[in-house]
Amino acid sequence: QVQLVESGGGVAQPGGSLRLSCGASGFTFSHYGMHWVRQAPGKGLEWVAFIRYDGGDQSYAESVKGRFTISRDNSNNTLYLQMNSLRDEDTSVYYCAKIADSYASGSHYDYWGQGTLVSVSS
Amino acid sequence: DIQMTQSPSTLSASVGDRVTITCRASQSISSWLAWYQQKPGKAPKVLISKASSLESGVPSRFSGSGSGTEFTLTISSLQPDDFATYYCQQYNPYSWTFGQGTKVEIK
């Protein structure tokens, strides 16, 4: 069965960095685009970043552009989010999500990880 | 960017009620719309994709309709397990946005 397991969350200071990982299993990882989505405490869902199935294209929300980098290692079935220059407003649960259609860019999510909490505080 | 506006933000209803949630897009998104259900402390779960396609395993009391800029999620007879927050999402390639959510509460 499909499993997505995030790790790497924790506490960081403003201006600091964290790298999130999302380990994937149960499907052919290299065939599917992947996303990061976040949710601030008590708030709604916010799309963060997308990476194409082959890593050849990425897209970012304006709120994280220039600070966050999405990447993937298809040989190890792992998705990453490098977060630099962290701000208080980046405090959220971060989810990785798999898109439903193989080789697609525009598709809904059929599986989500359990989320990892990032807290930015001095 | 395409903005998604959901209404209402909160909805109080009883078991057995018919419930409708609306989502409006700031520009046409054809049928590139999904609906998700989220319960506290859990990841969202997809209910509907392509505006009206029921996902496998989702009860038939859930239905979606609409195209272009106006969409609705309907629960035909609200069940105890349905009290949750619901989000719409548009997924035009390279433009992904969520509505702000609708919390369905027990009346």
> Would the CB atoms of A45 and B98 count as touching at under 8 Å?
yes
Count of C-beta atoms within a 10 Å radius of residue B69: 18
> Would the CB atoms of A108 and B91 count as touching at under 8 Å?
yes
Contact at 8 Å (CB) between B89 and B100? no
What is the model's pLDDT at position B64? 98
* pLDDT tens column, A83-98: 999 999 999 999 999 9
Separation between Cα atoms, residue B24 and residue B8, nearest integer Å: 11
* pLDDT tens column, B3-41: 999 999 999 999 999 999 999 999 999 999 999 999 999
pLDDT, averaged across chain A: 97
CA distance B81 to chain A (A): 20
Confidence of residue A106 (pLDDT cuts 50, 70, 90): confident
Separation between Cα atoms, residue B40 and residue A102, nearest integer Å: 30
Over residues A93-120, the mean pLDDT reads: 95
Q: Is 90 exceeded by the pLDDT of residue A101? A: yes
* pLDDT tens column, B62-103: 999 999 999 999 999 999 999 999 999 999 878 899 999 999
Nearest in space to B34 (alpha carbons), one of A52, A109, A38: A109
Nearest in space to A29 (alpha carbons), one of A95, A96, A82, A116: A96
- Mutation for A interface: B2, B23, B96, B97, most A CBs within 10 A: B96
> Would the CB atoms of B46 and A95 count as touching at under 8 Å?
no
* pLDDT tens column, A39-87: 999 999 999 999 999 999 999 999 999 999 999 999 999 999 999 999 9
CA distance A108 to chain B (A): 6
What would you measure as the largest C-alpha separation in chain B, in angstroms? 39
Say yes or no: B96 contacts chain A, CB-CB below 8 A: yes
User: Which structure tokens are listed for A88?
Assistant: 């208080």
Lookup result for tokens 């998700």: B36
Separation between Cα atoms, residue A97 and residue A23, nearest integer Å: 11
> Would the CB atoms of A44 and B99 count as touching at under 8 Å?
yes
Nearest 5°: phi and psi at A88? Answer: -55, -40
Distances (CA, A) of B33 to B42, B45, B67, B96: 21, 14, 8, 10
> Would the CB atoms of B55 and A50 count as touching at under 8 Å?
no
Q: Is 90 exceeded by the pLDDT of residue B106? A: no
Contact at 8 Å (CB) between B8 and B104? no
CA distance B17 to chain A (A): 25
